[in-house]
Amino acid sequence: MLIIATINRTFQSWVKAIVGAEYVLRWLPVGTHDWRRFLKPQEIQRMVAPHGLEKREVSGVLYNPVVNRWRVGTDTSVNYMLVATRP
């Protein structure tokens, strides 16, 4: 089994992970993320397929700043986890 947690390459991830986290909130040093290196779930699927792995599940990882909590959900537009296994 392979579990990957990463950031999706979408406009929303650019706004939230780079502009929001680096420039507005200053949670991370400016330049920490390179949006061009973020991976879409389909790209990971293509990367693991030659190794005999198939995607089993993709879940979003969502942050709620009001209550300062993370949760697993269905929105994969910014952060997500992908599970791949052998068939």
Q: What is the mean pLDDT of the chain?
A: 96
Grade residue 34 by pLDDT with cuts at 50, 70 and 90.
very high
Query: How many angstroms separate the CA atoms of 42 and 63, rounded?
Result: 23
Grade residue 60 by pLDDT with cuts at 50, 70 and 90.
very high
**Burial status of residue 4 (CB atoms within 10 A of its CB: 0-12, 13-18, 19 or more):** middle
0.85 exceeded by the pTM? yes
Mean pLDDT of 20-34: 95
Q: How far apart are the first and last CA of the chain?
A: 10
- 41: tokens are 């779930």
pLDDT at 84 over 90: yes
